Amino acid sequence: MAEYKRREFNIDFMGKTRIAVILTALLTVLAIGALVARGLNFGIDFTGGTLVELGYPEKADLGAIRDALAGSEFDGASVQRFGADNDVLVRLPPAGEAGSAGLGDRILALLPGAEMRRIEFVGPQVGDELVEDGILALLYALGGILIYVMVRFTLKFSLGAIVATVHDVTIVFGFFAVSGMEFDLTVLAAVLAVIGYSLNDTIVVFDRIRENFRRYRKDEPREVINKSLNQTLSRTLMTSGTTLLVVLALFVFGGELIHAFAATLMIGIFVGTYSSVYVASAMLLWLNVNKVDLMPVAKEGEALDGRP
């Protein structure tokens, strides 16, 4: 029986770092510029407002609903389907206590044939608290990554992981600033998932780099990192590919409510895979990581422990 031999890649990843640096810098600058110029289109979870679910006996005409609301006191309302074709979700900006009185009746008067399913009000104070909690959640995640990678590897590895994670989050935020898609709690949850996904991919690569630094002690750091990236490439492609298929199915068949969630994960998979190679691993070269950084520290008197 012929012995199975695993295919080995031989791609010079680190030889293309100059192009990657230019691309990374360009995307990061564009993302930050979009965030400064346009900002994020925060959803009702963060800004406060009113959420109204309506039901129709037949398929709802979203265009007619938008036109009816646009010509009334509810100008600026967001209208989208909610599951079935006859279910509609209307998001209204904050109107104050006076504006919320009799809100459901006023909406039904504008939309003949609609049935009120539910109405929820989110105060602006709650929205401000969610913004603060969301920022704290991201900071806690980054701090945990810094400590975890520093303990498991070294400080240089930790800096590479943090820079890669910040890069991924910045690109995702920039995508939402450019596209104008609504940024709500589900998107924030997806951003935290992207952080975990990107870190997992980075840790796998870092593990192999550390192992190869100890195994190939005579090789240059560039060669060791290249070898490590090629050895983990098949695993990275399989993991990213299968995850992307699932997220793509969610985006296509999951309905409009989770489009932003699925879009965040898709962008995160691409930038997370890219950053593991051309941000986190490239940072190790720029920080001059070598085999000395990864050699176990010999304890004083350890050589005498085995003597009688």
Determine if the pTM surpasses 0.75.
Answer: yes
All domains of the chain in start order, with CATH? 14-39+126-294 (1.20.1640.10), 49-122 (3.30.70.3400)
Q: Which residues contact 300 (CB under 8 A, 6 or more apart)?
A: none
What the block records as the tokens of 18 is: 């100059």
Q: How much of the chain, in percent, has pLDDT values that exceed 70?
A: 87
- Residue in the structure block whose two tokens are 């938008």: 66
Could you read off the pLDDT of 94-132 as tens digits, one per residue?
A: 765 544 567 778 888 888 888 888 887 776 666 667 777
The answer to whether the CB of 202 falls within 8 A of the CB of 275 is yes
Q: What is the mean pLDDT of the chain?
A: 81
For residue 176, the model assigns a pLDDT of 92
The position carrying tokens 């006076």 is 98
Residue type at 298 in one-letter notation? A
Q: In 3D, which of 243, 272, 247 has the Cα closest to residue 262?
A: 247
Write the pLDDT tens digit of every residue in 62-102. 888 888 888 777 777 778 777 677 888 888 877 655 445 67
**3-state SS track over the chain:** CCCCCCCCCCCCCHHHHHHHHHHHHHHHHHHHHHHHHCCCEECHHHHCEEEEEEECCCCCCHHHHHHHHHCCCCCCCEEEEECEEEEEEEEECCCHHHHHCCHHHHHHHHCCCCEEEEEEEECHHHHHHHHHHHHHHHHHHHHHHHHHHHHHCCHHHHHHHHHHHHHHHHHHHHHHHHHCCEECHHHHHHHHHHHHHHHHHHHHHHHHHHHHHHHCCCCCHHHHHHHHHHHHHHHHHHHHHHHHHHHHHHHHHCCHHHHHHHHHHHHHHHHHHHHHHHHHHHHHHHCCCCHHHHCCCCCCCHHHCCCC
> 22-36, 37-51, 107-121 — which one is most confidently predicted on average?
22-36
Whether 236 has a pLDDT exceeding 90, the answer reads no
How many Cα atoms sit within 13 Å of 253 on the Cβ side?
A: 5
